[in-house]
Amino acid sequence: MKKTIAINCLGLWLATGFLVSGATSVPAKDDSLNQRRNLIICYEIKNYDSRIRSTVNTIFNDLVRPGDNLIVYSPARVYGFSQQTLSRPKAELSKWLQEKLKADSNMAATGHRQAFSELKGLLEEMLFEAKGSDTKSLLNQYRQGLANLQAQRRINQPLLLQFAEMFAKTPGKNHVVVFFQKEFRPIPDSTMMDGFMQNVDLAFIAREVFLEPTQQESPEKLQAVIDAFREADATMHFAYLQPGGERAPRRMELHEHSTDMYQFFSRLARETGGIALTTAKAQEMMKALLEKLEN
């Protein structure tokens, strides 16, 4: 059995090691290879659909050229593609990766769905409780559930720095593409929130758990990654994806829960000369990327 190691990347838990597809090795420096592209594509997704599937087709049909290095991070694993693997039929490679992304995104979504359901259930209990000690206990449970949700998604600065270190040792043009699906959490609607604000014992804790920013990354952590990417001549491209079909439960609203990811990666993209966009169509990133790489 081949050994794997679990790592957390950009909020993903990934298994890395010697994969069936063949991990890409770091070649010796060679000026003749400077026009090759080293591509890392990260899918931080929980809803796999046709919009994601179209980007996989584009990777193999239009993006990857002979001699390019390709590594793809799914929500659960990392897949390295050797030159021999990339020489296989494009339709075969696309179908294989689509199946992996679908399975891995379903696996990754399980924990998020459970955490979301827990928060939703706590809010439903609050609807039927008198505004008193029981509700305060439920608010504290919501705070803990929110911490559990946040723990599933953290920016892994050390691994981003490892990306930069790897690029610095590898000839060619270096690009990281991140597809991140916007995340939400349930919070009370305005009527329910007004009730909390009118209760002195509940107002401060309700404001803290429902309205205040949840998770922020330090400017120093971001700047260290920016500096490392610039030194390695690596470019970040970031697509912040609007998932479809979200509906707020009764008496609740959906509150954006991933602004920290947006702020971190969109700035990293801008600072390294890459693409940063917010869209409901992941293919827009592929189109913009192909146009940029042609220039």
pLDDT in tens, 23-67: 344 444 454 455 789 999 999 998 898 999 999 999 999 999 999
CA distance 199 to 206: 10
Residue 131 has pLDDT above 80, yes or no: no
Q: Looking at residues 136-152, what average pLDDT do you find?
A: 89
Percent helix / strand / coil, the chain, rounded to 5: 50, 20, 30
Report domain 4-107+156-184+219-294's class. Answer: alpha beta
Average pLDDT, the chain: 84
Asked if residues 139 and 210 have their Cβ atoms less than 8 Å apart, the reply is no
The better pLDDT of the pair 151, 194 is held by 194
Asked if residues 234 and 175 have their Cβ atoms less than 8 Å apart, the reply is yes
Cβ-proximal residues to 232 (8 Å cutoff; 6+ apart), any chain: 164, 165, 167, 168, 174
* Structure tokens given for 67: 């001699």
Residues linked to residue 256 through DSSP beta bridges, in sequence order: 184
Helices (H), 128-258: 133-151, 157-168, 190-197, 200-210, 219-231
| For the chain, percent of residues with pLDDT exceeding 90 | 58
Give residue 126's pLDDT. 87
Residue 138 has pLDDT above 80, yes or no: yes
Q: What is the pTM of this model?
A: 0.84
Give residue 290's pLDDT. 97
Domain spans, the chain: 4-107+156-184+219-294
The torsion of the CA quartet 280, 284, 285, 288, rounded to 10 degrees, works out to -150
CB contact burial 197-220 (16+ within 10 A = b; e otherwise)? eeeeebeebbeebbeeebbeeeee
Asked if residues 143 and 207 have their Cβ atoms less than 8 Å apart, the reply is no
Give residue 248's pLDDT. 77
- At 9-22, the pLDDT tens digits run 444 333 332 223 33
